[in-house]
Structure 1
Amino acid sequence: MHRKTSNSVKFKKILIAPVLAFAALAGSASAYANTNPADPSKVIRTAFEAADDGFDMVKTQNFYSGWVSEVIFETLLTYDYLARPAKIIPETAEAMPEISEDGKTYTFHIKKGIYFSPDPAFKGVRRELTAEDYIYTLKRVLDPKNRSPSANFLNGKIVGLDELAAQAQKTGHFDYQTPIAGLQAPDRYTLKVVLNAKDYNFLNVVAYSAFGAVAHEAIDAYGQQTAQHPVGTGPYMLDKYVPRSKIVLVANPEYRGFTWDFKPSGDAIDKQIIKDMQGKRMPQVGRVEISIIEENQSRWLAFQGKQIDFDKIPELAALSVLDGDKLKPEYAEQGIQLQRIVEAGITYTVLNMKDPVIGGYTNDKIALRRAIAMVYNNKEEATLLRNGQAVKLESIIAPGVGGYDPAYRSSIDYNPALANKLLDHFGYKRGADGYRTMPDGKPLLLKSTSNQGGINTEISELWKRGLDLIGIRTQFVVSNFADNLKAATSCELMMWGAAWNADYPEAENFMQLLYGPNSGRGNHGCYQSPAFDALYVKAMSLPLGDERNKIYLEMNRQMEADTAWVLNTGRIRSWLVRPWVKGFKKHPILHSDWQYVDVEKH
């Protein structure tokens, strides 16, 4: 193993490769409305700790792709910037939808005068957003050729959509022109969605970033290159793109703008934010420059050198920056703002249930996975590796999400001694070298995959220490996040350290990661438990509240019984913001802040 050291860190220079530029748009922008109030001289510089996977959100669930796509594409509904807990509000819809008495029909009225960003695909014609664009967008998610990891959000929900997808599966062609009863456009600006059954999460689904409107002309024009040529109605559009290195966004001249007018949530920070931002025409920022800097040390040095305007404190720097939950004087004196939040997300290790070594549902395979889980010290990860910037995770559901129970305790805890006894009992014998074999005498070798950067090297070392205690030989493989995500989506990785941030503030968003029919999509370990799946279906039939939450607790226990995951930590994020950035408040669901903030001259 290669040990990462921090005593002689050098800033990693970002190599600028030939870029995909969209300069052709600049010359035609003057033919458009130029309604966007953004100031080109106001620039936000920030960094991602891992690479995106392009910006066609029908084809990816990459967190960083979604971060950027939130400001390129617009959903019918979104979230209030200040409200906590998260509150759904209209985005392109004029108001919240009209819902029929049986809860199955949703009618959205789309704002008039919303236009897509200028693009050659429209041949010089201004292209207005219509209800048909949302019908096309929703259909794309179930088009079999797209193999969308977000299909689970719509499977079985909309009248006629699954049948249309099934027909496409047979013929090899998805007919977008075929009308279905579940997606109707009575007029240019009205969208009617008819569900097969009442769905208590449907408003959350509508606000999910994968359902931001796209135009069929742009998809037709760019085909397989759509991920590098996103065209939406949001406040920004892609200007330059160096895959895995640099992303530059500029103001979409067709964006209509909005007036900053959010109500305080009761958080202490809201008063100052409102004072700084109330009544401004938004967005103010005209350009967003995002660098991909995977190494924590390099990203931290970039912030210290004022090369990026806000970022999370890397765990390695926490003790030198924080005094408890406050900044040390040398940072506070710079006017830096600190915002600490427990992330609405979880980190965990996927165990591949299809893998010939650790997969399967027989007692010996469950015992092997259970022993593996029992030697991962997630308390040590939280306190030592993350310098106290995390909490030991007890359940699948993230803190702050509907259905989370702070009193719940996992039935699997760190216990190497018991893990050894478990392996002995099921015939995983130690050889002369101290390492165990399979019950049939064949070699036992785990293959654990991690992402580049961050504290992943240290986490791999923590895993190795634990697995050595029970005599399991392990090969550690490091690759970039985007490639790992693709492999995991196909259930090709034996073990993979993953993270999931809430797409919407309800436990179902986490439970669907283990739902059997989502195998090959978000279910990265291909976990298929009839008991878990039956509980999932039962939970979905219940309204939000205590009865549904009790089912979620049973689902947690079922996952533990099968040991499909190893739970790691819930991260505490300490955001540092330079004093010239005004209006910043980290949202639990939305990730792109750029359209809500301002930048003063500095």
Structure 2
Amino acid sequence: MRSSIRRCWPLAAVALAGGLAAASAFAQAPAPHKVLRYSLERAETGFDPAQTPDAYSREIIDNIIEPPLRYDLLARPARLRVATAAALPQMSADFRELTLKIRPGIFFADDPAFHGRVRELTAADYAYSLRRHFDPRLHSVAYADLLADDILGLQALRERALSRDQPFDYDSPVEGLAVVDRYTLRIRFGHPSPRFPLKLAESIYAGAIAREVAETYGDAIMEHPVGTGPYRLVQWRRSSFIALERNPRFRDEFYDEQPDAGDADGQATAARLHGRREPMIDRVEVSIIEEPQPSWLAYVGGAFDLTLVPYEFAPDAAPGGRLAPNLAKRGMRLHLVSQPDVTYTYFNMDDPVVGGYTPERVALRRAIALGYDNAEEIRLLRKPLAIPAQGLVAPLVAGYDPSLRTNMSDYDPVRARALLDLYGYVDVNGDGYRERPNGGALVLHMATQPDTSSRQLNELWQKKMEAIGIRIVFERRPWPEQMKQARAGKLQMWTLGGSSDEPDPEDLLALAYGPSKGEGNWSRFDLPEYNADFRRVQELPDGPERQAAIAQAQKLLLAYMPMKTHLHRVRLVLTQPWLEGYPANPFVNGYWRFLDIDAARRPATQ
């Protein structure tokens, strides 16, 4: 899920470049310092690609730390192109070996970890970064997905560290990662891995971390992101304010995005920005504001250059799906952005009340799912900018079928009550709430956040659960604290979301893959049949057989209900008239380098 915003939203004044050009009495003033102001709706957790589980933090990371590939900003459908790579990787005919060449002359941002040296990016940095995901101390959110790719030798290193209770060995050679020369990395897999190049476009898997940085900062690396990207972190007030500035070491890159011939808007954007040096904006200021009203009012007042419109204010921003006249008169632009994501409520499969694989526990989870109304959530809370979810596979990714209908989206409280009665979840003491089959209390504990949107969602949950005789209580903590509890398996239920960073369902299906328990698989679901289907999804080439494996994995999730999927979001984004180049590409998080600000159109008060 994309981020939001929190308790305070400090705004800094724009610093104007001053002074006169040297040696010229008639020199003009330099161009104004360009500052992009933006807000997130949830607090960040930190900035290490291996350890960061949330999209809010990764939106920052992806502007600092680079994988070797990226997606073209304007291409539809998604198309890979090089970032730090010299060319697209070469894959062997059997999909078991990949060769990646890195461009010479790319440098990390200056940092004390380098002791005054200018540090060049090399193939060894990507090899090291891939190894980090297998270090058990880091609890990498990408570990299970990379494990299923079976990069030869990495899992053996991890198991050795665990069995001997020793630090992970970063120096032992492994067959699957061979640094052929300074700029060439060869990766070998234990089975076909045809879509591994997609991972090389995601910082969560392949963002380059210099070993010196990781070893210098140790457990504090979440606070010290150092990359080769267009920006560097210069200020951070946790859960409040983040500032990035242009990385002086960033290489010469010039805007050259390639939209499809039939995309008139994309063609116009590409023509307008073509050849401009990236990044075009000098500084980015990100405020964390979780409450929707102050976020919306700040944007309307001109404090932010773009905003993800809070659902509560969608009717104000775009009544009937069209930009409100008062906003259109001010020159604002409306972007309707489909999201390759899914919101869901997971059940902790290790929990003694809602977890387990026995028929009565499965029946309880299915009854809870039937008792909740996705359509009402979309109508009342999403205004109605969402599509009901039939499973984990989201729009814009391979395998999504818009015509599919499953019981996942059914709302049937009559069936829910009948199912609970059948399996012994009945009201024994006459207080109006059901007990468990063994006579114990049946109480659902839902993790939640202390913001307005969460409170509205809680009210809907409470109303629907009481209608089928189930008591539910809400445990409120800030987002980062809930995430820590989720990692440790201490939350019984939590509503959150997963977003695909690639046009493929693999990383969404990984949300239920057994080996990733506590590292992305928050429900801790671990079913051998599902794990086998997930591995088939990874190994098979694109085609009907793989589509069948995707469908079978979805059926198993429906049968065992480790999570109740809710919806796929459609979001409204508004941009100010002076902001140029805003993309509506859900697979490009690190997009700030492609934006520009027309200083002549921006009010002087900004």
Partner of 1:153: 145
1:509 corresponds to which of 486, 494, 507: 507
Q: Tell me, yes or no, if structure 1 residue 328 matches structure 2 residue 324.
A: yes
Q: C-alpha distance in 1, partners of 2:452/2:109?
A: 35
Q: C-alpha distance in 1, partners of 2:322/2:10?
A: 35
Partner of 1:26: none
Task: In structure 2, give the amino acid aligned to 1:369.
Answer: R
* Equivalence map 1:202-217=2 (5 Å): 202-210=196-204, 211-217=206-212
Structure 1 residue 91, shift from structure 2 partner = 0.9
1:363 corresponds to which of 344, 359, 366: 359
Partner of 2:162: 169
* Equivalence map 1:106-255=2 (5 Å): 106-156=98-148, 157-171=150-164, 172-210=166-204, 211-255=206-250
Structure 1 residue 517, shift from structure 2 partner = 1.4
Task: In structure 1, give the amino acid aligned to 2:423.
Answer: F
* Equivalence map 1:395-410=2 (5 Å): 395-410=391-406
Range 385-394 or range 236-245, more displaced:
385-394
Does structure 1 retain, via aligned residues, the 8 Å contact 2:245–2:283? yes
Distance 1:141 1:524, change over 3 A: same
Does structure 2 retain, via aligned residues, the 8 Å contact 1:451–1:497? no
Partner of 1:21: none
Task: In structure 2, give the amino acid aligned to 1:411.
Answer: N
Partner of 1:433: 431
Q: Tell me, yes or no, if structure 1 residue 269 matches structure 2 residue 265.
A: yes
Q: Tell me, yes or no, if structure 1 residue 60 matches structure 2 residue 56.
A: no
* Equivalence map 1:520-535=2 (5 Å): 520-535=518-533
Structure 1 residue 70, shift from structure 2 partner = 0.5
Q: Which runs of 5 or more residues in structure 1 are unaligned?
A: 1-10, 18-37
Q: C-alpha distance in 1, partners of 2:145/2:392?
A: 19
Equivalent position SS for 2:587: coil
Partner of 2:440: 442
Structure 1 residue 112, shift from structure 2 partner = 0.7
Distance 1:295 1:268, change over 3 A: farther
Show CA shifts across 1:31-51 (max 9, x none): xxxxxxx97701100001001
Q: C-alpha distance in 2, partners of 1:337/1:60?
A: 32
Does structure 2 retain, via aligned residues, the 8 Å contact 1:136–1:216? yes
Structure 1 residue 575, shift from structure 2 partner = 0.5
Task: In structure 2, give the amino acid aligned to 1:276.
Answer: R
Equivalent position SS for 2:393: coil
Equivalent position SS for 1:65: helix
Does structure 2 retain, via aligned residues, the 8 Å contact 1:137–1:212? yes
Equivalent position SS for 2:270: helix
Range 544-553 or range 339-348, more displaced:
544-553
Equivalent position SS for 2:419: helix
Range 490-499 or range 445-454, more displaced:
445-454
Equivalent position SS for 1:568: strand
Q: C-alpha distance in 2, partners of 1:99/1:319?
A: 49
Partner of 1:419: 416
Does structure 1 retain, via aligned residues, the 8 Å contact 2:501–2:586? no
Task: In structure 1, give the amino acid aligned to 2:85.
Answer: A
Equivalent position SS for 1:474: strand
Q: C-alpha distance in 2, partners of 1:75/1:119?
A: 19
Q: C-alpha distance in 2, partners of 1:546/1:404?
A: 13
Q: C-alpha distance in 2, partners of 1:519/1:267?
A: 42
Show CA shifts across 1:266-305 (max 9, x none): 3342133123211111111010000000111111011011
Q: Tell me, yes or no, if structure 1 residue 580 matches structure 2 residue 582.
A: no
Structure 1 residue 563, shift from structure 2 partner = 1.1
Partner of 1:45: 37
Show CA shifts across 1:343-378 (max 9, x none): 110101011111000111111111111111011111
* Equivalence map 1:243-322=2 (5 Å): 243-265=238-260, 266-322=262-318
Equivalent position SS for 2:34: strand
Equivalent position SS for 2:269: helix
Q: C-alpha distance in 2, partners of 1:13/1:492?
A: 29
Q: Tell me, yes or no, if structure 1 residue 70 matches structure 2 residue 68.
A: no
- TM-score scaled by length of structure 1: 0.92
Range 145-154 or range 230-239, more displaced:
145-154
Partner of 1:3: none
Show CA shifts across 1:47-88 (max 9, x none): 010011110111122211111111111101111111122111
Range 148-157 or range 421-430, more displaced:
148-157
Task: In structure 1, give the amino acid aligned to 2:342.
Answer: I
Structure 1 residue 528, shift from structure 2 partner = 1.3
Partner of 1:90: 82
Equivalent position SS for 2:212: helix
Aligned length: 572
Range 57-66 or range 147-156, more displaced:
147-156
Task: In structure 1, give the amino acid aligned to 2:288.
Answer: I
Equivalent position SS for 1:548: helix
Distance 1:250 1:454, change over 3 A: farther
Equivalent position SS for 1:142: coil
Task: In structure 2, give the amino acid aligned to 1:186.
Answer: V
Does structure 1 retain, via aligned residues, the 8 Å contact 2:367–2:416? yes
Partner of 1:453: 451
Does structure 1 retain, via aligned residues, the 8 Å contact 2:7–2:240? no
Partner of 2:478: 480
Partner of 1:32: none
**Over aligned residue pairs, what C-alpha RMSD do you find?**
1.7
Q: C-alpha distance in 1, partners of 2:549/2:450?
A: 36
Q: C-alpha distance in 1, partners of 2:275/2:452?
A: 39
Q: C-alpha distance in 2, partners of 1:149/1:140?
A: 11
Does structure 2 retain, via aligned residues, the 8 Å contact 1:153–1:205? no
Show CA shifts across 1:478-502 (max 9, x none): 2221121221122221110011111
* Equivalence map 1:357-396=2 (5 Å): 357-396=353-392
Distance 1:317 1:153, change over 3 A: same
Q: C-alpha distance in 1, partners of 2:385/2:452?
A: 13
Does structure 2 retain, via aligned residues, the 8 Å contact 1:40–1:285? no
Q: C-alpha distance in 1, partners of 2:252/2:478?
A: 37
Does structure 1 retain, via aligned residues, the 8 Å contact 2:7–2:290? no
Distance 1:39 1:512, change over 3 A: farther
Range 437-446 or range 536-545, more displaced:
536-545
Q: C-alpha distance in 1, partners of 2:507/2:180?
A: 31
Partner of 2:94: 102
Q: C-alpha distance in 2, partners of 1:540/1:131?
A: 25
Structure 1 residue 323, shift from structure 2 partner = 2.9
Equivalent position SS for 1:256: coil
Distance 1:234 1:568, change over 3 A: same
Range 39-48 or range 417-426, more displaced:
39-48
Does structure 1 retain, via aligned residues, the 8 Å contact 2:241–2:286? yes
Distance 1:345 1:277, change over 3 A: same
Equivalent position SS for 2:33: strand
Q: C-alpha distance in 2, partners of 1:280/1:321?
A: 31
Q: Tell me, yes or no, if structure 1 residue 539 matches structure 2 residue 537.
A: yes
Does structure 2 retain, via aligned residues, the 8 Å contact 1:490–1:521? no
